[in-house]
Amino acid sequence: MERLNSKLYLQNCYIMQENERLRKKAQLLNQENQALISQLKQKLSQSCPSANPKPCPPVMLDLNSCPAVVADPCCREPGQAN
């Protein structure tokens, strides 16, 4: 019984170390995502000309989808097809 307890204790220690490592990695990835979202929002706001009467719609980002180039409808010339 004591041997099993020691084995479980060591497994628990390993799991806690792995959990801490993954938590730190997730925190870094979250910071990177926030920086990239900020850059994207800045680029989108710069790409919409101020002379455009239609304001840019708010951007809803799906962080679970694959990255793709998306045309911003607010930046189209008046009369241009959607």
Give per-residue pLDDT as tens, 49-78: 665 556 556 656 666 665 554 444 444 445
pLDDT at residue 22 greater than cutoff 50: yes
The answer to whether residue 81 sits within a structural domain is no
Q: What is the pLDDT of residue 47?
A: 85
How far is residue 14 from each of residues 1, 5, 22, 28, measured CA to CA in Å? Answer: 20, 14, 12, 21
The answer to whether residue 80 sits within a structural domain is no
The answer to whether residue 42 sits within a structural domain is yes
The answer to whether residue 36 sits within a structural domain is yes
- Using alpha carbons only, give the angle 57, 58, 60 rounded to the nearest 5 degrees: 125
The answer to whether residue 63 sits within a structural domain is yes
CA 48 vs. chain centroid, Å, equals 22
Tokens of 50: 């101020």
Q: What is the pLDDT of residue 70?
A: 46
Number of domains in the chain: 1
Q: 59, 41 in Cβ contact below 8 A?
A: yes
Domain enclosing residue 14, as ranges: 2-75
